[in-house]
Chain A
Amino acid sequence: MNQSTNQLTDWGIQEVSGVGRVEGPIVVVERAGNVGYDEVVEVIDSQGRMRRGRVLEVGEKMAVVEVFSGTSGLTIDGTHIRFLGQSLHIPVAEEMLGRIFDGTGNPIDGGPQPLASTFADINGQPINPTSRVYPRDYIQTGISAIDGMNTLVMGQKLPLFSGAGLPHDQLAAQIVRQATLGSPAGESPKQAQQFAIVFAAMGVKHDVAEYFRNAFAESGALTRVAMFLNLADDPPVERLVTPRAALTLAEYLAFDRQMHVLVVLTDMTNYCEALRQISNVRGEVPSRKGYPGYLYSDLASLYERTGRVKTSEGSITQIPILTMPSDDITHPVPDLTGYITEGQIVLGRNLNHQNIYPPISVLPSLSRLMKDGIGAGHTRGDHSHLSAQLYAAYAHMQDVRSLASVIGEEELGAVDQQFLKFGRAFEREFVGQSPTENRTIEQTLDLGWKLLSMLPKEELTRVSPDEIKRYYKEPHDTN
């Protein structure tokens, strides 16, 4: 990785006393000459307490600074600003696994500062598209709705689109706990691949952070997790740094230390709100719902820090979590996320009401990289057709269901009644499973065929006649 060469380029430290204007989290410093764009600053109040910030805009003898931990207590004349002459860097080291940090990368678990010989710029650098390795190795999560229908691939960014009150935390914890490098159905798993986990919390509640910590501890994963916590009552501006710090460590582990890294970012909606807050204070022209016009680029600068590169065996797989305000998938945060990430897993309130866990709404969910991570040699030869058939049948079932709610189930034709039965079984048996159930890919695929066998053969136009011959169970077999 290049970032190791990104040493502290010293632009010289300078100090300025007194600021011109304080507004929300923003401080405008006058009389500051020779300040670099995006430089880190230390803001020292009249009591001598230090907080950090960074430069958002520079002019001649003027700099606009955002202060990570808020501006309360700052005075116009009594505030000292120290410009550190470099962009924000954090130490990165393998021993940061097993540790807990605040939102800007300082340890908060009582342990010492990690010993690190490498300091990396939290902004990272864009991966050259020609250096990427196209992700093709699937990750077995043991969850049928993911493995069977929206397969996760190593090096993919696949967000969970959720809503308030839905079990996204539980699902994310289950994925982290069960994720292993996948192997073809029926073959014994390759040497158990352990993922390193980098967890970043932006503005989440204390108990959510605690839930994840416990979940990691219970599964014995704690020693390979690095947690970056910015909690709900921590300063919002700090949230802009948290995912970047986490991804900087992830890049170091994946591309310098050749590890497979799973990154969980939660909750991206809080992150975006912090971004909007800063944008509003600066009086920028808003686009949709008050979010700045550069929200897409800003999110991309996080999500695109995922993948595999030719120069390393390691990989970064991202699972961002976001809650859709009032379950609206067209809200700017899920919308722009969906345009950047390689698919999405959508949780549905309806399924949740029926007590189906995990309540994954299969139809709006998608994994873009699935097509190259499945099939013979990866999972099983029939996987692609099977999932397309399940999708088509389940989509048709939705139409039948809405028809049934108008004319009544008895009025439906015989075939449509079979579809209805199939749909119910699909939701209960295929999508639904217990939070501790870890299904192999073979179990998932066989279950899919068992459910398809509830439908007449002639209706199955997405699977080939050979596959039907091989996997379809005639009605008398299933009884």
Chain B
Amino acid sequence: MSQQFGNITWVNGPVIRARGSRDVSMLEQVEVGDERLVGEIIGLNGDSITIQVYEETTGMRPGAPVFGTGLPLSVELGPGLLRSIYDGIQRPLPIIERETGSFIDRGVHMNPLDRIEHWSYNPILKEGEQVKGGEILGTVQETENFEHRIMVPPNVSGTLTWVAPAKKYTIDEVIARVKTERGERELTMIQRWPVRRLRPYKARLGQNIPLITGQRVLDMLFPVSKGGTAAIPGAFGAGKTVTQHSIAKWADADIVVYIGCGERGNEMTEVLQEFPHLIDPRNGRPLMERTVLIANTSNMPVAAREASIYTGITIAEYFRDMGYHVALMADSTSRWAEALREVSGRLEEMPAEEGYPAYLAARLAEFYERAGYVETLNGKQGSISVIGAVSPPGGDFSEPVTQHTKRYIRCFWALDKSLASARHFPSINWLESYSEYTEDVAGWWREKVGQDWLKMRNHAVELLSEESRLSQIVKLVGPDALPDEQRLVLETSRIIREGFLQQNAMDNIDAYSDIHKQIAMMNLMLHFHERAERIIKRGANIGTIHALPIVNVLIRMKEQIPNNELEKLDDIRKTLDEQMDQLEAEYR
């Protein structure tokens, strides 16, 4: 299917130029040289064609042939995506391993989806029915809990002239025929879609449902909505990856797409080895069964790193179109921006800030705008929440990628190196972080938990910011100079910091906090503050409050009360009240 259209004239790393046909199109996928390395056309100038190559170009020489495919860079979509691990241009890494061993060779061509496996297909639509793009033709039970909905490709509509009976099929067997205006089309379970073009939907909807992550600092203080966008910037060692992993594990999404973009190989291996053994608390199935991994590690070719983000979000859109809620993690968008910069530099484009190309902001916007909560073409509701890690050089948030990202996201989880140094994890700084979704999701909490989440949240944030102001004073004059009421703010904030905000991702009980547990814990801590405040007003000193045994209980309850034994929190409340009553009696 590929035809030679020209010959190489110049090679510089991942960027090559060729001369040849004027008939090739911008962003067309091409194959370069006799090894047929995968590339993409990124510039046309008369008969000179600029190509970025997704593999190492060592040994590539002028004169070598270049082949066109006539198609833009695309991904394959269909049953078999789940549990997969792909490189940046959707080549299946386990199959590459089988073919070329532990090291990745060049010029390997593989089908992203398995052509041999038979899937048991159940048709829904019948012969003679009118269909439009996006409609659900039938279903495949891809995993025990996941129904893969086979859709009519978005650009096809017409009358169904034939429908395959319920049976097992491979993904390239015909399952339906559609008579369209331009003749009859055969449909299989597989779709191809260009990665740089967003998949269509009917309408964007509001974002009122939080994406529950089981991470207390996120769910309680800085929630992201389903369909929302969030960024996690942080210096190295601040805990970006651990936070991303925790969200990938525990978020209440139907599907998780995890893009390891220019990061460490061992981290992807960790996910690969850990996820099959981790059990989803909601349905008791291994987490791997809802996960798609894209791994383009830092030592893999840089241009494919640029593509990996688009590959990932296109797969996410496909699942969204079926009416599912998808969480997409991109770790790290800075590496993706650097790949843009590297290619731009080799093209000798005029740089804007810090060598990044002037179109950096536009590309970031394009990416984050593919998130959203939508009504799909088939009338269902689906969403993509995008959570992008940012790795600012030197941990300095004023650099271009962080700054431009901030313009397109609505939730900012600032990681703090000094918290990480004190092993306060997740090291999300509660003063610098923000979420614009808090008001939007407050209604959901009221409905689900029946408590005023927003009021509690705001109270906790007030205490914490008061603490930060007070600790400036403490640094100068010591805590003893403060009145006891203010020292109580320090004490309650300490309890909130250590007992609530800190969460141990390695602890079996603490790694995931149910929403009811979260709200009950926060309630208890605020209740403690309220009662203690009253006693202090009557003249008790802070030392007696600090010495109450309940303080340690409050700090430890996160890892001692499992999600399914929340009634024990009522006992803690009783104990708290008893101890407070006793104290109160002394100061009557």
Contacts and interface: CB of A to CB of B under 8 A. Distances in A.
A330 B265 contact: no
B85 A129 contact: yes
A412 to B, nearest CB: 7
A3 B103 CA distance: 8
Contacts of B298: 296-297, 300, 303-304, 340
A338 B237 CA distance: 8
A123 B103 CA distance: 12
B297 A129 contact: yes
Contact of A127 (B103, B262, B270): B103
Interface in B83-119: 85, 93-94, 96-97, 100-105
Given A34-B61, A37-B61, A301-B299, A403 B96 contact: no
Interface residues of A, number: 93
A403 B471 CA distance: 11
A2 B479 contact: no
Given A34-B61, A344-B237, A128 B103 contact: yes
A413 B102 contact: no
B422 A293 contact: no
Contacts of A128: 93, 96-97, 100-104
Interface string B419-433: 011111000000000
B102 A36 contact: no
Interface stretch (A131-139, A183-191, A236-244, A423-431): A131-139
B237 A343 contact: yes
B477 A407 contact: yes
B279 interface: no
A292 B345 CA distance: 9
Interface stretch (A219-227, A282-290, A350-358): A282-290
Nearest to A58: B11
Interface string B297-308: 111101000000
B206 interface: no
Is the interface on chain B under 10, 10 to 19, 20 to 34, or 35 or more residues?
Answer: 35 or more
Given A406-B475, A458-B552, A133 B269 contact: yes
Most chain B CB within 10 A, of A33, A57, A297, A363, is at: A297
Contacts of A369: 266
Given A296-B262, A332-B393, A131 B60 contact: no
A58 B10 CA distance: 5
B486 to A, nearest CB: 16
A90 to B, nearest CB: 15
A381 interface: no
Interface stretch (A101-109, A390-398, A443-451): A390-398
B63 interface: yes
Contacts of A59: 9-11, 62
A236 B265 CA distance: 30
B268 interface: yes
Interface stretch (B135-143, B161-169, B335-343): B335-343
B480 interface: yes
B62 A60 contact: yes
Contacts of A285: 344-345, 348, 351, 355
Contacts of B478: 403, 406-407, 411-412
B2 interface: no
Interface in B302-361: 302, 335, 338, 341-342, 344-345, 348, 351, 354-355
A121 B417 CA distance: 39
B59 interface: yes
A33 B506 CA distance: 59
A311 interface: yes
A126 B96 CA distance: 12
A301 B305 CA distance: 14
Contact of B11 (A57, A293, A395): A57
A36 B269 contact: no
Contact of A363 (B300, B341, B421, B506): B421
B264 A342 contact: yes
Given A128-B93, A134-B270, A406-B475, A2 B103 contact: yes
Contacts of B479: 413
Nearest to B350: A285
Contact of A11 (B59, B94, B396): B59
A87 B59 contact: yes
A339 interface: yes
A271 interface: no
B474 interface: yes
A264 B32 CA distance: 38
Most chain A CB within 10 A, of B9, B342, B498, is at: B342
Interface string A264-307: 00000000000000000000111110001110110011011101
A384 B506 contact: yes
B58 A36 contact: yes
Nearest to A301: B299
Nearest to B57: A37
Given A286-B355, A412-B478, A413-B479, 7 more contacts: A37-B11, A37-B59, A39-B59, A129-B260, A331-B394, A338-B236, A372-B270
Interface of A: 1-3, 9, 11, 33-39, 56-61, 86-87, 121, 123-135, 155-156, 255, 284-288, 292-294, 296-297, 300-301, 303-305, 307, 309-312, 329-332, 335-336, 338-340, 342-344, 363-364, 366, 368-369, 371-372, 384, 388, 391-392, 395-396, 399, 402-403, 406-407, 411-413, 458, 461-462
Interface of B: 9-13, 56-63, 85, 93-94, 96-97, 100-105, 235-237, 260, 262, 264-266, 268-270, 272-273, 295, 297-300, 302, 335, 338, 341-342, 344-345, 348, 351, 354-355, 391, 393-396, 417, 420-424, 474-480, 498, 506, 552, 555-556
17 contacts: A33-B63, A34-B62, A37-B57, A37-B58, A37-B59, A58-B60, A127-B299, A128-B96, A128-B103, A129-B93, A129-B260, A129-B295, A131-B101, A287-B341, A300-B299, A364-B237, A384-B506
The 5 tightest CB contacts between A and B, nearest first, are: A330-B394, A300-B298, A395-B422, A338-B236, A304-B299
